[in-house]
Structure formats: C-alpha cells, structure tokens
Structure 1
Amino acid sequence: MDTLHLVLNAVTVIFIVTTMLAAGFGATVPALRGVFSDVPLLVLALIANMVVIPLIGWGLGALLSLPSTSFIALILVASSPGGPFGAKLAMIQKGDVVGGAAMQVLLASVGSLTFGPTANGILTAADVSTNVSLDVGALVRTVALLQLVPFAIGLLMSHYAPDTARSWHPAAAAVSNITFLIVLAGMLLGNWQDVVNLLGSLALLAGFLLAVAAFAVGTLLATGPPTRRTTMGSVASIRNAGPALAAIGLAFGDQPAVLGALAGVLLSGLAAALPIATLLSGRRSAPRTRPNTGSQ
C-alpha cells in the first residue's frame, strides 16, 4: 500500500507539472499581461476565493449540521483556493486556459498565506477548538516549484522558442490527460472506504454543494467574456488539497476520521466540477447552424 501511495504521489506531481507546462506552452506574454492588468478581475477573484467561498463552507456546514470531523474538513477545503485541477478544468471546458492557469497559481500563492488565519478564524467562531498552524514557507515553495516554475518555463519557451513550444505542447497535454485519469482512479480506489463511510453524514453532499456554489460565485465575480468567467468559476470550484492535508497532519494528528472526510469532500467537489466543465466543452464544440432565411 505504501508503494502504491508513493506511485500515486509521483503521478500527481507529473500531472501538476505537465498541466502547468502545457498551459505555459499555450500562453503568450500579452495574454498573461491582459489577465494581471485587469484589476477588477483580480480583486473580484480574491474576494470570491478568500472570503465568500470560506463563508459559504461555514454556512453549509452549519445548515447541514455536519459532525465536527466533516465540518473541519469542509472548512479546510473551503479556505484553501488554487487547486491544480482548476487549470485542467479550464482546458477541459475549452475556456481561457492562460487566464485560468495564471489565476490558479496566484490563488495558490496567496492562499498559502491566508489559509491558516481563515480556517482558524472560522473554526474558532464555530466553536471548534483547534489551532491551524502551518509552515507558510514550505507551502509557498511547493506552489513555486510544482506550479509557477513549469508555467514560467512553458511561457518563456512560447515567447523565445515558439516552434519548439508548439511541437512540445501536444505531448505535454497528452501526458497531462493520461496522468489526470490515473490520479482520479487512484483517488477513488485509495479512498473508496472513507467515501462509503460518509454516505450517511451529508459530508459528500456538502462537498458537492460547495463546489457548485464556488463555481457560481467564481463565475459571477469575474470580468470579461463568458469563456473567462466560467474559467474563473472552474478555478474557484477546485480547492487546494495541500494546505488542508498539512493542517490535518499538524493540528489534528492525522486523525483518520478527518482525513476520510477531507477525501470525501474533495472527491464530491470534483464530481460536481468535472461534469460542469464537460458540459461547457460540449456546448462550445457543438457546430453552430445558421438560421434558414431563404424562401421556400
């Protein structure tokens, strides 16, 4: 089992790196500048992911009267933006891949700083006695190494060696797609018992509803064309498991019940976000028929 866990971790790293590399290959400096110079978009995205979605998680946990372990897992997930699957969903929905990848890296970086205070503040206000304390430096280094650096390498190659970037892009995208499926299968096989144990606790429903609400909030609190707005929705709906897992290890002693609830919340959230992206992709791929205005 330990060997399988190590293999899955290695595949997950490959998935994250190739996804960000492929996004960088398809990016351009002007397009990236367009994202980061859109101040309203940045402000709205930060508000949605750092404030609104954690509060929605709190509200859902209280509304569904979740037990403490599931409530803690839901708050940890809601307080942790910038999951790398967000960039993948931007690709799946045929959305604004450059904007989605850039925003996902930004949210993961800022979330490394805000996660601890946000989660701790909500859990304290909800009278769940705990103290979420994380190694912020380690989180920032992880985001930089696995997400920012590959994206930057792909962007630089796209700018200075466009022919090479175009020729490598299909291979990076293919590896990203294959490892994405392997990671999904590994998550399901590795956590199916935990998910089954949660069937009567409403934790799965809470994770599903959180992802749907996050997609709606991320889409509404965004600027630009529909492709960019729905991309921001997908990025918002996928939360970052890294800080949440670190918090469980440090603040909760790797309690199996909290870990199981976290797996259930993350998987049910992905089960909500993936069909939305697939539906959007189908609508954008469908051929548009011109109305028949000719006379009979």
Structure 2
Amino acid sequence: MDTLHLVSNAVTVIFIATTMFAAGLGATLPALRAIFADLPLLLLALLANLVVIPLLGWGAAALFGLSTAPFIALVLVASSPGGPLGAKLGMVQNGDVVAGAAMQVLLATAGSITFGLTANGILTAAEVGGGISLDVAALVRTVAILQLVPFAVGLVLRHYAPPTARSWHPFAVKVSNVTFMIVLAGMLLGNWRDVVELLGSRALLAGFVLSVAAFATGTLLATGSPVRRTTMGSVAAVRNVGPALAAVGIAFRNEPAIMGALAAVLLSGLTAAIPIAAVLSRRRSGGPVSSSAELG
C-alpha cells in the first residue's frame, strides 16, 4: 500500500508539473499582457473564482446536508480555481483559447496563495472535520513550486526558443492528459469502496450542481463577447485538482473517505462541464476558434 501511495504521489506531481509546463509553452507574453491589461475582466474573474464559487461550494454542501468527507471534498474543490482542463474546454467549445489559457494560469497562480486560506476559513466557519485546520504555509509552498515554476520555465522557453517550445508542447499536453487519467483512475481504484458508497448519494448531485453554478457564475461575471464569456465559464467550472490533492495529503493524510469523495465530486463536475462545452461547440460548428494561433 505504501508503494502504491508513492507511485500515486509521483504521478500526481508529474501531472501537475507537466500541465503547468504545457500552459507556459502554449502562452506568449503579448497574449498574456493583452488579457491581463483588461482590468474589469480580471477583477470579475477573481471575484467569481476566489470568492463567489467557494461560497457556492459551502452553500451546496450545506444545502444537500453532506457528511464530513464529501463536505470537505466539495469545499476543497470549490476553493481551488484554475483547473488546467478549463482552458481545454475553451478549445472544445470553440471559445477564446488565449483568454481561457491566460485566465487559467492567473487563477492557478492566485489560487496557490488563496486556496489554503479560503478552504481553512470555510471549514472552520462550518465547524466540519473536527476542528482540523490546513497548514497554509505548506500548501502554498507545495502548490507554488509545482505550478508556478514549471509554468515560468515553459513561458521562458516559449519566449526565447519558440520552435523548441512549439515542438515540445504537443508532447507535454499528451503527458498531462495521460497522467490526469492515471491520477483519476488511481483515486477511484484506490478508494473504490468509498466511491461506491457515494453512488446515488447527494454528494454526486452537489458536485454536479456546483459545476453548473460555477459555469454560470464565470459566464455572468465576465466581460467581452459571448464567446469569451462562456470561455470564462468553462475555466470557472473546472477546478484545480492539484491543491485539493495536496490538501488531502498534507492536512488529512490521504484519508480514503475524503479521497474517494474528492474523486466522486471531480467526476460529477466533469459530467456537467464537458456536455456544456460540447453543446456550445455544436452551436458554433464551423466557427473560428478565437486567437487559437497564439497557442501554437
């Protein structure tokens, strides 16, 4: 079992690092500057993802009367913005790819600092988990190293060696996709009893509802064209599994019930977010993907 945990943790580290490295390889400084110069969009996205959606997660957990493990899992997911698959869903829906990727990186960066504080505050206020508090400093260190450093390396490589960055980008994306599936499968297989116990429970429904509410919040609290707004919705709907996994490992010692609930919540959220992107794609069938050339 210890060996399985070591392998699982190693794959998780590879997933997080390669995802952020791929994001850096796919970004350009001019594209990032253009998005970051849109102050209203930035402020609304930060408000939606760092404040509103975590509160929605708390509200959904309380509304559905979730038990301790799924309550904690839902709050961890809701408090963790900037999921790498959010930008990918922007591509799926033929959205504003550059804006989606840039916002995902910004939210992942901000979330590495705010995640521990937000989750800790909600869990303490809700009096869930027997008074357990998160080690904020450890979470910030872990998430910052795993996300910010690989992204910065990828961005520098894209800026100074574009041909190399373009050639490496597809491979990095494939590694990210494969390791994500392995991480998700490992979470399910390693905690299948806890996941099975949640089938038909309100935890899955709460995760589904949170994802839909997050998409609506991200879309409404955005500026620009409908294409850009729904792209912001996709980014908001898919939360960042990295900090949540780090929290379960650091604060809850990989407790199987919480890990199983986390996997179930993530899966139910994806079952909401992916069809939404697919429907938008069909409506825009044949339409151009905004600024996709910037991602190379």
TM-score bracket, normalised by the shorter chain, equals 0.7 to 0.9
Calculate the aligned-residue CA RMSD, in Å.
Answer: 2.9
Residue 213 of structure 1, CA deviation? 0.8
d(CA) in 2 for partners of 1:30, 1:47: 24
| Amino acid across the alignment from 2:218 | G
Instruction: Deviation per CA, 1:248-281: give whole Å up to 9, x if none.
Output: 4555565433333223222222232233334444
Residue 41 of structure 1, CA deviation? 1.2
Instruction: Deviation per CA, 1:47-91: give whole Å up to 9, x if none.
Output: 111211122112212221222332232222222223333344344
Is this contact kept in 2: 1:19–1:87, CA < 8 A? Answer: no
Residue 238 of structure 1, CA deviation? 2.2
Residue 247 of structure 1, CA deviation? 4.1
d(CA) in 1 for partners of 2:168, 2:251: 42
d(CA) in 1 for partners of 2:17, 2:92: 17
Moved more, 52-61 or 275-284: 275-284
Alignment partner of 1:287 is 2:281 = no
Is this contact kept in 1: 2:248–2:254, CA < 8 A? Answer: yes
Structure 2 equivalent of residue 7 of structure 1: 7
Residue 2 of structure 1, CA deviation? 4.1
Query: CA 1:33/1:111 → structure 2, altered by over 3 Å: closer, same or farther?
Result: same
Describe the SS at the equivalent of 1:81: coil
Structure 1 equivalent of residue 21 of structure 2: 21
Runs of at least 5 residues in structure 2 that lack an aligned partner in the other structure: 288-296
Moved more, 127-136 or 208-217: 127-136
Is this contact kept in 2: 1:67–1:201, CA < 8 A? Answer: no
Alignment partner of 1:106 is 2:106 = yes
Residue 233 of structure 1, CA deviation? 1.7
Query: CA 1:108/1:165 → structure 2, altered by over 3 Å: closer, same or farther?
Result: closer
Describe the SS at the equivalent of 2:113: helix
| Amino acid across the alignment from 1:157 | L
Structure 1 equivalent of residue 293 of structure 2: none
Is this contact kept in 1: 2:11–2:183, CA < 8 A? Answer: yes
Is this contact kept in 1: 2:24–2:152, CA < 8 A? Answer: yes
Is this contact kept in 1: 2:116–2:139, CA < 8 A? Answer: no
Q: TM-score when scaled to structure 2?
A: 0.81
Higher CA-based Rg: 1
Structure 2 equivalent of residue 52 of structure 1: 52
Structure 2 equivalent of residue 143 of structure 1: 143
| Amino acid across the alignment from 1:269 | G
Alignment partner of 1:259 is 2:262 = no
Describe the SS at the equivalent of 2:166: helix
Is this contact kept in 2: 1:20–1:101, CA < 8 A? Answer: no
Structure 2 equivalent of residue 77 of structure 1: 77
d(CA) in 1 for partners of 2:174, 2:64: 40
Is this contact kept in 2: 1:66–1:201, CA < 8 A? Answer: no
Structure 2 equivalent of residue 167 of structure 1: 167
Describe the SS at the equivalent of 1:233: helix
Query: CA 1:15/1:90 → structure 2, altered by over 3 Å: closer, same or farther?
Result: farther
Residue 175 of structure 1, CA deviation? 3.1
Is this contact kept in 2: 1:218–1:232, CA < 8 A? Answer: yes
Query: CA 1:181/1:204 → structure 2, altered by over 3 Å: closer, same or farther?
Result: same
Query: CA 1:175/1:92 → structure 2, altered by over 3 Å: closer, same or farther?
Result: farther
Is this contact kept in 2: 1:134–1:246, CA < 8 A? Answer: no
Query: CA 1:154/1:123 → structure 2, altered by over 3 Å: closer, same or farther?
Result: closer
Residue 172 of structure 1, CA deviation? 2.8
Alignment of 1:239-278 (within 5 A): 239-248=239-248, 252=252, 254-278=254-278
Is this contact kept in 1: 2:109–2:148, CA < 8 A? Answer: no
d(CA) in 2 for partners of 1:60, 1:194: 20
Query: CA 1:180/1:133 → structure 2, altered by over 3 Å: closer, same or farther?
Result: closer
Runs of at least 5 residues in structure 1 that lack an aligned partner in the other structure: 289-296
Residue 4 of structure 1, CA deviation? 4.1
**What number of residue pairs does the alignment pair up?**
286
| Amino acid across the alignment from 1:65 | G
d(CA) in 2 for partners of 1:194, 1:114: 29
